[in-house]
Amino acid sequence: MSLPIEHSLWHPVCDARQVQEDPCPIELLEHALVLWRDQNGVVCGLHDRCPHRGARLSLGRVCQGQLHCAYHGWTFEGQGQCTQVPALPHFKPGPAQQANAVAVQERMGLVWVCLDPASAEQAIWPVFAAEWNAGMRKLNAGPYDVATSAPRIVENFLDMSHFSFVHDGWLGQMGHSEIPDVVLTQSEAGFKVTNAQVWQPNTSALSTEGGMVSYTYEVNHPYSAVLTKVPDAQSGVPPGYEESIVLLIQPQTADSCRVWFRMAVSDFEVDSEDVLAFQDKIFSQDKPVLESQQPRLLPLQTGAESNVASDKASVAYRRFLQNLAVTFGVC
Ligand code: FES
Ligand SMILES: [Fe+2]
């Protein structure tokens, strides 16, 4: 039986600084996992279940880079290989004593996991082009815990018609709620929304006045999206200023997630506290609405929710999830 697509994706699971030598329990796609750092500083990850009697490996301790189970002391190296059964000092453990490993990488200040190590090389990453732009400063906002599904969070990120209601006085304003038609194009791995224009009273942490902002959205991973916004110089931002934000989600369960925003801003002067405070403020406005949406899982059947022309990006996102046969977080 083939694994669901969600197992062949890279997912962020925690801030990289959070994983030190001690075992760190995390949850991803309803799987309990344990992470730790070995002696070379490499993050290792296993399913949080000892192959011996099913105890949680995260209750154990790390000694010389290897994880010792708290129950009978079986010892595991980072790829899951059992190296020692203390009750049998002369026994050579084999594959039957092996713990289940996951693939782990560090990127963008976060630890990432792919549940299926065999497909990790081909597994899908969120593409964030601004990451490689040396002229843009990178900051991570979050994490934010949200009691809803990852697709509801992505869809909200792609939705501009809530700005003048949920973000009144910030990203939108009553009386400026019309959303002109956007251009939707299919890309190799997903889709792109361009020509999205919106008037914002407070375009970013740097703005001093309201102004028009051009948005571009890109989606190429089921639980992630990138937005690039270029405010009009009128809003008081420095000429040529732009920012790009990638939404990164750890789906812990089908309807609970942890969220980060990786931000790239073309300004090195603005206080990072201000940029992060702005993002915290915006997300604190989104969160109660997101958590109120019923059902929490994103409905994919046609007609389950009412779509109008200004929901073009969200309709494209639902089609994208269907084409990829995503099953986690949708209904
Ligand atoms: S349950 Fe882990 S060593 Fe026995
Ligand atoms: Fe919002």
| 204-216 pLDDT tens trace | 777 788 888 899 9
Examine the fold and report which residue of 73, 93, 119 is the final residue of a domain before the chain moves on.
119
Q: What is the pLDDT of residues 173-209, one digit of tens each?
A: 988 899 999 999 998 899 999 999 988 888 777 778 8
Best CA proximity match to 87, nearest among 97, 95, 79: 97
Q: Are strands 82-84 and 211-221 parallel, antiparallel or unpaired?
A: unpaired
Tell me if residue 57 falls in helix, strand or coil.
helix
Instruction: Give the CA distances from residue 170 to residues 200, 201, 230, in Å, rounded to whole numbers and listed in that order.
Output: 7, 6, 16
**Which ligand sits closest to the CA of 73?**
1
Asked if residue 245 belongs to a domain, the reply is yes
Asked if residue 244 belongs to a domain, the reply is yes
Examine the fold and report which residue of 62, 89, 119 is the final residue of a domain before the chain moves on.
119
Torsional class of 109: left (φ above 0), alpha (ψ -120 to 50), beta (otherwise): left
Query: Do 52 and 140 share a domain, yes or no?
Result: no
Query: Do 105 and 30 share a domain, yes or no?
Result: yes
| CATH number of the domain within which 217 lies | 3.90.380.10
Q: How far is the CA of 173 from the centre of ligand 2 (A)?
A: 13
Q: What is the pLDDT of residues 217-238, one digit of tens each?
A: 999 999 999 999 998 777 778 7
Structure token digits, residue 272: 């990072």
Query: Do 170 and 307 share a domain, yes or no?
Result: yes
Which of the listed residues 46, 53, 82, 100 should we mutate to test ligand 1's pocket, taking the one with most ligand atoms within 8 A of CB? Answer: 53
Query: In this structure, what are the phi and psi dihedrals at residue 235, rounded to the nearest 5 degrees?
Result: -80, 5
Who's near 94: CB < 8 A, 6+ residues apart?
A: 82
Asked whether 171 and 204 are in contact (CB, 8 A), the reply is: no
Atom of ligand 1 nearest to the CA of 55: 1
Q: How far is the CA of 64 from the centre of ligand 1 (A)?
A: 19
Q: Cα(109)–Cα(2) distance, rounded to whole angstroms?
A: 31
Query: Do 77 and 138 share a domain, yes or no?
Result: no
Query: Do 309 and 269 share a domain, yes or no?
Result: yes
Asked whether 152 and 296 are in contact (CB, 8 A), the reply is: yes
Query: Do 34 and 164 share a domain, yes or no?
Result: no
Asked if residue 296 belongs to a domain, the reply is yes
Query: Do 143 and 14 share a domain, yes or no?
Result: no
Q: Please check the confidence at residue 78 and state whether its pLDDT lies above 90.
A: yes
What pLDDT band is residue 1 in, cutting at 50, 70 and 90? low
Report the pLDDT value the prediction gives residue 234, as an integer from 0 to 100.
73
Structure token digits, residue 310: 């200004």
Q: Which amino acid is at 39?
A: Q
Mean pLDDT of the chain: 95
Domain count, the chain: 2
Query: Do 107 and 135 share a domain, yes or no?
Result: no
Q: Which amino acid is at 176?
A: H
| CATH number of the domain within which 70 lies | 2.102.10.10
Q: How far is the CA of 55 from the centre of ligand 1 (A)?
A: 6
Examine the fold and report which residue of 76, 93, 119 is the final residue of a domain before the chain moves on.
119
Name the one residue in this structure whose structure tokens are 């980060």: 260
What pLDDT band is residue 140 in, cutting at 50, 70 and 90? very high
Atom of ligand 1 nearest to the CA of 53: 1
Q: Cα(93)–Cα(87) distance, rounded to whole angstroms?
A: 12
**Which residues lie with the beta carbon below 6 Å from any ligand 1 atom?**
50, 52-53, 55, 69, 71-74
Query: Do 146 and 216 share a domain, yes or no?
Result: yes
Q: Please check the confidence at residue 79 and state whether its pLDDT lies above 70.
A: yes
Asked if residue 175 belongs to a domain, the reply is yes
As a whole number, mean pLDDT of residues 102-108 equals 98
Widest CA span in the chain = 77
Query: Do 29 and 151 share a domain, yes or no?
Result: no
Query: Do 312 and 172 share a domain, yes or no?
Result: yes
Which of the listed residues 72, 75, 98 should we mutate to test ligand 1's pocket, taking the one with most ligand atoms within 8 A of CB? Answer: 72
Asked if residue 329 belongs to a domain, the reply is no
Query: Do 79 and 138 share a domain, yes or no?
Result: no
Q: Cα(99)–Cα(94) distance, rounded to whole angstroms?
A: 11
- Expressed as residue numbers, the domain containing 207 is 129-324
As a whole number, mean pLDDT of residues 276-303 equals 97
Asked if residue 330 belongs to a domain, the reply is no
Asked whether 286 and 155 are in contact (CB, 8 A), the reply is: no
Atom of ligand 1 nearest to the CA of 69: 2
Structure token digits, residue 77: 């190296």
Q: Name the least confident of 2-16, 22-36, 107-121, 262-276.
A: 262-276
Asked if residue 187 belongs to a domain, the reply is yes
Asked if residue 331 belongs to a domain, the reply is no
Nearest CA to ligand 1 atom 1: 53
Q: Which amino acid is at 208?
A: T
